[in-house]
Structure 1
Amino acid sequence: MSLARIVRTAIQIADAEGLSALSLRGAAARLGVAAMSTYRYVPSKDDLVPHMADAAFGEEPYRADAPEGWRARIELGSRTLWSLYRKHPWLARLGSRTRPLGALDGHGLDPTTLFDIHVLLYSPVQGLAVHLEMEADAEASTGQSEDQWMDSRAPALQELVESGRFSTFTKVVAAFEDGYDLRLDALFEFGLKAILDGPTSIVERQEAVT
């Protein structure tokens, strides 16, 4: 028994069933030990979760060979963060606010502007990743995948379309040949360029005057 084993087991439970399904008692059962024995290492679930986050974020350590240029480094950080959210959907509710800051440093930005841009760059990634956690939680609680759930709701959606009460919704839905898939990876790729384009002019303008 060790804190590291408890953390690894807790991560496995959260990955499979969601953070809401995690408990110290459940982790102890998975480890095959008495529930009280885990309290020697961590007093509560609230104390356990930061250890889990540290371990999960530690799977992608700082890279000494980070690319040149703030935009390339932000893009790398975004993709790294997205891959971690993909592996551990529960991380989306915790977020990461510290490690990528260095990519924006040294470009003449005042501290407030620097941090504002940092938050605006990474918040959409985290926000999109919340859907990963929602999907994982829903599948764990219902036993249905997203496609299975949507299939089960097809009659209700068809009734909504045929009601005529929502003309724009009806028009958009009718335009899809095979329905709409929430392709989160594609949405991440689609949005990343737009997210990076926004602050580019601010950074470049500030670099020009410093």
Structure 2
Amino acid sequence: MTKPTGAPDQPPYLRIAGELRRRVAEGELAPGDRVPSTRQIAREWGVALATATKALTTLRLEGVVVARPRAGTVVASPAAPTAPARRRPAPGPGSGPATDQELSLERIVRTAIEIADAEGLAALSMRGVAARLGVAVMSPYRYVPSKDDLIQLMADAAYGERGYPADPPAGWRPRLELGAHTLWGLYREHPWLAQLGSLTRPLLVPNLVGHGEWMLRALDGHGLDPTTLFDIHLLVYSHVQGLAVHLEWEAHAEAATGQSEDQWMDSRAPALTELVDSGRFPTFTKVVGSFENGYDLRLDALFTAGLNALLDGLTPLVEGRTAGATAP
């Protein structure tokens, strides 16, 4: 366990921030390098997660580090220490330190989204949100009663970041494609979003229902009975969400293990060799052996290929019902 450096009368978070600041100043951590996560700091220094969060928040407000979506907290570039990782709708007063008087529900929700984008949903806590905003621990509770309520608000805000044109494209298929690609883009920007809700216990927030409204309107008027129409909507949605959940899983696994996807696969080479050499799986062995440089898992390509195949399969159902409905 590392002991925080600095004056012994300093709060632990300031001593931790001082040690990380020293590592940056002396070149141990270069611009773009990941700094220890809140969990790594808590484990290394033997402090609470809230203390770790406060240390990183201190450095962020100083411009020493910056949160990067899916990369975590990294050393800021001297040229642009506070450059945002992604353009988003302006959050209003800004995301810097706030007094309790300046605090608002919008700022709390936007700050929580920034934490989840950069560090994953597991790193989100009400205490961490308060620390990043620079307000008292209990202040956010005046606006939102619990973390669960906060996540609902985060989801609604994130789903509301993208909408649809007032004049939709012609044809049911282009409309479904636009809806699916819009959702995929949101999950790409906010990987934690796909972890919320399921087909059996859906997330009922207005802006997600708005995406469903777009998909249902694309299918309405084609002679489909309500059950079939809704089944098709769920099939398309589950394809998008089903692939998107792997975005957050991979980010979490990389943060937990310190290994990239390729590094993890390399470390499992002996297990793969054992399976191939067993002779029990000849087709698997033939396919795997045909890759010159290994299989490149491309989620974006899988999403597009799967969507096209799904819509190809649905075309006779949708257009066949339309033909039947319009026949004399």
TM-score by length of 1: 0.92
The residue that corresponds to 1:167 in the other structure is 282
The residue that corresponds to 2:106 in the other structure is 4
2:249 to 134, 141, 153: 134
Structure 2, unpaired ranges of 5+ = 1-102, 198-207
Q: Report the residue type matching 2:189 in the other structure.
A: K
Question: CA deviation digits over 1:31-61, x for unaligned, max 9?
Answer: 1222211111111111011111111111102
> 1:48 aligned to 2:163?
no
Which secondary structure does the structure 2 equivalent of 1:35 belong to? coil
Structure 1, unpaired ranges of 5+ = none
1:18 to 120, 134, 137: 120
Counterparts of 1:172 and 1:54 in 2: how far apart (Å)? 43
The residue that corresponds to 1:35 in the other structure is 137
- Aligned-CA RMSD value: 1.7
Moved more, 162-171 or 47-56: 162-171
Counterparts of 1:8 and 1:195 in 2: how far apart (Å)? 35
> 1:94 aligned to 2:196?
yes
Counterparts of 1:124 and 1:195 in 2: how far apart (Å)? 9
TM-score by length of 2: 0.61
C-alpha contact (below 8 Å) 1:16/1:136 kept by paired residues: no
Question: CA deviation digits over 1:65-97, x for unaligned, max 9?
Answer: 321111100000111111111111111123645
Instruction: Count residues in correspondence.
Output: 210
Moved more, 56-65 or 93-102: 93-102
Larger Rg, first or second structure (1 or 2): 2
Q: Report the residue type matching 1:88 in the other structure.
A: H
The residue that corresponds to 1:73 in the other structure is 175
Question: CA deviation digits over 1:84-137, x for unaligned, max 9?
Answer: 111111111236452322111121212111101111122111101111111111
Q: Report the residue type matching 2:111 in the other structure.
A: T
Q: Report the residue type matching 2:109 in the other structure.
A: V
Counterparts of 2:114 and 2:155 in 1: how far apart (Å)? 12
Counterparts of 2:180 and 2:320 in 1: how far apart (Å)? 23
Higher helix content, 1 or 2: 1
Shift of the alpha carbon at 1:63? Answer: 1.9
Q: Report the residue type matching 1:48 in the other structure.
A: L
The residue that corresponds to 2:185 in the other structure is 83
Moved more, 58-67 or 71-80: 58-67
Counterparts of 1:24 and 1:143 in 2: how far apart (Å)? 26
